[in-house]
Amino acid sequence: MDTTVVVWMFIKIFVIFGMLMQLVPIMTWVERRGSAIIQLRLGPNRVGPFGLLQPLADGVKTMFKEWVVPPSGHMLLFNLAPIVSCCAAFVAFSVIPFGNVLNWNDHAIKLVVADVDPGVLVLLAASGMGVYGIIMAGWASNNKYSQLGGLRSSSQMVSYELALGLAVVSVLVWSGTLNLTAIVEQQGQRPLWNICYLPLGALILFVAGYAETNRAPFDLPEAESELVAGYHTEYSSLGFAMFSMAEYINMMTASALLVTLFLGGYHVPFVQEWWFTDGSWQLALAQFATFWGKVLFFMWVYVWVRWTLPRFRFDQLMKIGWKMLIPLALVQIVLSAAMVTLGWGK
């Protein structure tokens, strides 16, 4: 393999890993500040200007807290669970393109960490592995609240993964490819993005993303009023921090998947044709900024929804998944197939 390609591979890994790691503490500040604004409170305002150094203070405090393992728990699985959740979150993001191609010294560098043709399948498989870390945490803690949280999470994620997968299938039928970069490029060539042709699929993926990331109003696996803290009740120090980090990275992955499949990904209408040349660093930078701008918008929507809507009951949560989202996703697949047969959107 050419040295330039190898160097760029490590650069892409470093950039994406660094972005995810930096956005996690930033999102913790946004979450607190956003909830304060919504609830007419002040929020963090003591550590640094506007409380901007609060995430740093929390990180230092978390690192120096004692790591406590329940004496009756399973030590190996207890320590392994947060690692599994974090690794699954990082791997899932690796196949999402944040740009098209960058021409560098006669090399066409694809702006995606892992450019694989069945990228959608890799993403769904990796994100599905995250539930194993939650189940392991609930069982290895040997705590009834943790076990209930793990069981709730497994049933919830299995239920909503079906709806999410079917919503993705509607895009695959419409696009005719499993490659995420190809799906984004198709949206750039069509007059409208996929959300205009498949609005029902976009809505289903949007809702299922909240359930997959255990965010309110679908945060039953860690409902404080019933389960203390759910599957991570017994976790402290870096274990708790890693579960929190995995949750935020999963939120970014769900947002990036929605942006990639339905909102044109890194594509900006007319920018490529009018302003920059294909493969230039200016176009790559514009695509990178556009992609992350869209993702950060949906990250703010996550915060907005959490502090606006009340938590569902568990029976309501299951009803929404099985009786509403899955049938609607099947309808969207049929409509996608019909539109492809009729040649719409070409």
CA distances to 24, 131, 217, 224, 246 from 221, in Å: 21, 11, 11, 9, 15
CA distances to 59, 152, 163, 317 from 323, in Å: 42, 18, 10, 10
pLDDT, position 280: 82
pLDDT, position 226: 59
pLDDT, position 1: 57
CA distances to 109, 159, 162, 204, 214 from 325, in Å: 39, 10, 9, 6, 17
Residue 272 has pLDDT above 60, yes or no: no
pLDDT, position 312: 84
The model's pTM: 0.92
118-137 tens-digit pLDDT:
889 999 888 888 888 888 88
301-313 tens-digit pLDDT:
999 998 888 888 8
Considering the chain, what percentage of its residues have pLDDT values greater than 70? 95
17 Cβ contact partners less than 8 Å away, ≥ 6 residues apart = 90
Torsion angle defined by CA atoms of residues 263, 264, 270 and 276, in that order, rounded to the nearest 10 degrees:
130
pLDDT band at 228 (very low <50, low <70, confident <90, very high): low
Cα 337–Cα 213–Cα 85 angle in degrees, nearest 5: 115
Rounded Cα gap, residues 202 and 258, in angstroms = 7
CB 229 within 8 Å of CB 222: yes
Residue that has been written with the tokens 């359930």 in this structure: 211
Write phi, then psi, for 104 (nearest 5 degrees).
Answer: -140, 110
**Mean pLDDT over each residue of the chain, to the nearest integer:** 86
